[in-house]
Structure 1
Amino acid sequence: MTKHSFLAFLLLSIIWSCGSQQKQVSNNNETDSLQDDVESYVEGSPKLVVGIVVDQMRYDYLTRFDKKFGTGGFRRMMNEGFNCKNNHFNYIPTYTGPGHASIYTGTTPKYHGIIGNNWYDKIEHDMIYCAGDDSVKSVGTNSSAGQMSPHRMLTTTFGDENRLFTQLQGKTIGIALKDRGAILPAGHTANAAYWFQGRDEGVWISSTFYMDALPKWVTDFNASNQAESYFKEWNTLYDISEYTESGSDENLYEGGFAGQDKATFPYDLNGLKTDNRGFDLLKATPYGNSLTTDFAMAAILGEQLGQDDITDVLAVSFSSTDYVGHNFGVNSKEIEDTYLRLDKDLERFFSYLDKNVGRGEYTVFLTADHGAVEVPAYLNSVNIPAGYVSNNERKKVFNAFLETTFGVTDLVENISNDQVFLNKTKMDELGLNRLEVQEQIAAEQLNYDHIAKVYTAKTMTNTNFTTGIEAMLQNGFNQKRSGDVVIVNDIGYIAYGETGSTHGSGLNYDTHVPLLFFGKGINKGHTFKRTEISDIAPTISALLGISFPNAAIGQPLEFVID
């Protein structure tokens, strides 16, 4: 090698060496930067995530009543946080149990298995309740009202995943007047779920799935007579003449309370409680939401939620809005007053969080488990197609068809939740082909008045629908739990009484619900982009940096997260 060649080789070696060192330094810097980002992300997690579900809240309640809301409740969430204005459920049926399960699991009944509040069990051959569990005992009451657990929900919640991620150090607490509104959101690993036992007790209870005895802070709350204090007059928060966003106080479309001739303000709750199942009456007034708020604030203190750097989860469901809606209807003055009072309860709840967890140290989302239809009788009065169906009348005609076609009526075991469950043993005895029977029954049902669509289990299982009612039915169809034939009523037609509102369909009045986020890690803004209820759990999981619930199908709403 010449002198010049040696010098050239030496120079190249130095350059390669420097480049290699520079690359190593660069990689080290990237690793350090990544570690810093991870540590910063963990340090930036909220101390407390609060999930709020407002039972039966339509999206348009946010806009209808906006001018009468204060600045610290719904408006605070909209002004300081992110408003998803086109948020929908993506399955049928839109009921309370499936709604709460779907919000927290990030999936639909197809996977989490909560296909209704109650449903016909094809193995037990009996109706079962979504949270019922005879293997556990009541805690806090001698009644059977505490025999509840989440054992029928097949998947994890984001609260479960947070518990696993934090080695069970992050707490999860569920609270609602309704047992299913507390239990399903809290998940399988929750520290506790509490619900309200009315009648002549007026106490918050739980089950041995969570504990052997109520903690002292709960027994102290129950002994405080806070529930008793709400047996007072329910009158409008403001002068009733200002309630221009709802219909007349006296009309034909409201149920009312036993013991009072007219469904009009004011309501003397103390005088009405005897004829309306005692403390259960409070559930059907805005004071049930106030009591829930009181108890949720007591839980924050009693459980020391949000007091360290390990994220806790508090799931709160406001159930009274559903009771009021079912009784008085979407367009009632009672529903307007209930939401104006809920706005006040949210304001004091957020103020309590500011003081006891720290402003900017917690994250909140608010949504609903379903919406509600306008009272069909009212819709008829303003020339909008709507009406009522009689399941009993349909059953008479259907039984006659079964007798004529198959020679028996017990070929069908059960009809519930707009689903027909066939007696497979009887079909085998008669030598009938199950799929052919499904098709014959579907064709018959489609002939009945105000039935829009009918599908067989075979269709739900073997056809991949991507849009429309069919896709929503499929997202709500669990192959092992759902029926053999699925029925869809005409738009605006319900199997219900002629007063008050109900829900359950895949139509906009039942699927379009609020989705608000605010607090730590949340951007400020709004979107009209379609979001779905199954997106909530993945979004919170992404915010916390934890695993998504194990069967989640939703996507993180990255435009929501800061």
Structure 2
Amino acid sequence: MKRMLAGFLTGTMLALSVPTSAQPAPAPVSAPAATPAKPPRLLVVISVDQFSADVFAAHRASWTGGLARLTQGAVFPKGYQSHAATETCPGHSTILTGNRPGHTGIVANDWIDQSVARADKTVYCSEDPAQPGSSSRDYVASVQFLRVPTLGDYMKTANPASKVVSVAGKDRAAIMMGGRKLDQIWWWGADGFTSYKGTAVTPLVQRVNAGVKMLIDQDRPAMDIPDQCRAVDRPVQVTPTVSVGAGHFARKAGDIRAFRASPEYDAAVLALGASLLEDQKLGRGDATDLLILGLSATDYIGHSFGTRGAEMCLQMDSLDRELGAFFDRLDAAGIDYMVALTADHGGQDLPERQREQAASDAARVQPSLYPKAVSAALAAKTGLTGDLILGTGPFGDVYVNRSLTPAQQAQVLKEARAFYLAHPQVETVFTRAELAAAPEPSGPPESWSLLTMAKASFDPQRSGDLVVLLKPRVTPIADGGAGYVATHGSPWDYDRRVPMLFWRKDMVHMEQPLGVETVDILPTLAAQIGLALPATGIDGKCLDLDATAASSCPAR
């Protein structure tokens, strides 16, 4: 039998995980007020991984639940993850720090550090590479690479009574938004929610994990297709043996990978978030609390099925309903809360479907751009041997091998730059020297040059000797195998633009279509709760959420 996921939060998962208690009646609705008389008791910050402005626009008209509610607040449909390296870890590092990746230090999901004392010179953004026996894929989670404080850190410093809880589908989402001063932090591990090494899984989290395991251990039939998804309900052939768009999230019992690439994954994160909300009594004290939710299913679905098919449509429909159920719980508890929702990056659809839909130049990256292939081409040119350049993929940061002599490094850098610039799929290349000399970003993010975008991602200690930017609509996946057909990471608008939504009960609706940045979220929320921030060291600016002539931002 086919099924929908309606009410998942109010069904089995919460019955297993949330203590039952009498819930106060919702607070009565008062007349709209331009500026709140007092700060909210709870901030709920939600990141929907790979929730592009394009996906937001495509599905907005069909929402009736939680996402629809958020569109009645302050809506910024043209938010920007303004930097060039639009990946998960850098994007999450901007949301609650007020800083771009060049200042957070999180330049990519992974980068090369040739000084680490292990064979694997790739470093994962949320690991401790000094841990014995670790690698970038088998690591101990850590926040050590994040250079700047988060909203939660500022809140706890100003008032230790504030509680900060971070829950996400990915460790890098929970860590980069959560920061260092947390009451609790949880993310999905190998087979359940976990936390930092040495943190015991609490009985509450054990109950949630048991509920999730019950769900995973069941065969799941395909989801029903709502009317608004029928127009995009058709399969796309990716390779002679791989197609996407026909499964509608059906999966076999025990398939954790398929579970993560389904709406159920976000529902599990929301279930744990709701459980911790009750357990920690968030929003019930005198100080404002912070609940951070990193919803990762949209990203896994985008990678597995693309952004324009029935699966993404189903995900948006389910996310709207699950967020609605979550907000209903907050309403029933009588909590005065404010929500901010955005994304760590956008994403583009798989090139095969793009070519079917008028984007005739959409293509997959050529294998000749992968680091091993580039090294081989440079070896043939220079007569040198070995891995002359290092990198984590066919674009982004490229590092010259430090085992070469200074003269050889200079030769390789020159030849590598020429190689990339001559490649038909490369838009441009910047050197470390060019990026170091470039001015800091300023002005509307929609008008930035490629150099400015790359500067926003540049950290002199972690960025490459070259930064390679691919042409528009080049998907940096050479082989579109099953489970990974589309991605993100480029400086183009389909990857940079994300929605930014703010909502609180009785907020006067406003919509501002001009470009803003995700780094603006920290100072905007700080103003809402009367939190003083440092006068310097923050890239973002406060956004005025008051739709009247008054301002919700502090005077400058």
Shorter-chain TM-score bucket reads: 0.7 to 0.9
Name the SS for the 1:52 alignment partner.
strand
Residues 39 and 528 in structure 2, CA contact (< 8 A), matched pair in contact too? yes
Equivalence for 2:422: 447
Name the SS for the 2:290 alignment partner.
strand
Give the 5 Å matches for 1:334-483.
334-358=311-335, 361-384=336-359, 385-392=361-368, 395=371, 398-410=374-386, 412-417=388-393, 418=395, 419-428=397-406, 431-432=407-408, 434=410, 437-464=412-439, 466=441, 467-483=448-464
Equivalence for 1:131: 126
Equivalence for 1:60: 54
Name the SS for the 1:453 alignment partner.
strand
2:68 to 66, 75, 79: 75
User: Taking structure 1 as reference, are residues 295 and 116 closer, same or farther at Cα in structure 2, changes over 3 Å only?
Assistant: same
d(CA) in 1 for partners of 2:365, 2:436: 28
Where do 5+ consecutive residues of structure 2 fail to align?
Answer: 1-34, 442-447
Deviation larger for 225-234 or 370-379: 225-234
Amino acid at match of 2:124: Y
Matched, 1:160 2:156: no
Matched, 1:509 2:502: no
Residues 82 and 517 in structure 1, CA contact (< 8 A), matched pair in contact too? yes
User: Taking structure 1 as reference, are residues 492 and 437 closer, same or farther at Cα in structure 2, changes over 3 Å only?
Assistant: same
1:180 Cα deviation (Å)?
A: 1.0
2:475 to 482, 486, 494: 494
RMSD after superposition: 2.8
Per-residue CA deviation, residues 437-477 of structure 1 (Å, 9 max, x unaligned), is 53442122101121110111010011327531110101001
Amino acid at match of 1:447: A
d(CA) in 1 for partners of 2:418, 2:121: 26
Equivalence for 1:248: 233
1:247 Cα deviation (Å)?
A: 2.3
Residues 51 and 345 in structure 2, CA contact (< 8 A), matched pair in contact too? yes
1:307 Cα deviation (Å)?
A: 1.0
1:293 Cα deviation (Å)?
A: 1.2
Residues 205 and 214 in structure 1, CA contact (< 8 A), matched pair in contact too? yes
d(CA) in 2 for partners of 1:44, 1:95: 36
Equivalence for 1:557: 543
d(CA) in 2 for partners of 1:558, 1:256: 52
Matched, 1:90 2:72: no
1:390 Cα deviation (Å)?
A: 2.6
Residues 134 and 148 in structure 1, CA contact (< 8 A), matched pair in contact too? no
Equivalence for 2:29: none
Amino acid at match of 1:66: R
1:551 Cα deviation (Å)?
A: 3.4
Identity %: 25
1:74 Cα deviation (Å)?
A: 1.0
Name the SS for the 2:176 alignment partner.
helix
Amino acid at match of 2:496: T
Residues 363 and 521 in structure 1, CA contact (< 8 A), matched pair in contact too? no
1:266 Cα deviation (Å)?
A: 5.0
User: Taking structure 1 as reference, are residues 268 and 443 closer, same or farther at Cα in structure 2, changes over 3 Å only?
Assistant: closer
Bigger Rg, which one: 1
Equivalence for 2:194: 205
User: Taking structure 1 as reference, are residues 298 and 397 closer, same or farther at Cα in structure 2, changes over 3 Å only?
Assistant: closer
Per-residue CA deviation, residues 492-545 of structure 1 (Å, 9 max, x unaligned), is 002213373210011111011111000169542111121111111111112222
Q: Number of aligned residue pairs: give it.
A: 492
1:411 Cα deviation (Å)?
A: 6.6
d(CA) in 2 for partners of 1:43, 1:453: 51
Give the 5 Å matches for 1:18-29.
none
1:263 Cα deviation (Å)?
A: 4.5
Normalising by the residue count of structure 1, what TM-score does the alignment of the two structures yield?
0.81
1:539 to 503, 515, 524: 524
d(CA) in 1 for partners of 2:247, 2:494: 27
Deviation larger for 496-505 or 322-331: 496-505
Where do 5+ consecutive residues of structure 1 fail to align?
Answer: 1-40, 138-143
Which structure shows the bigger proportion of residues in helix conformation?
1
d(CA) in 2 for partners of 1:479, 1:255: 44
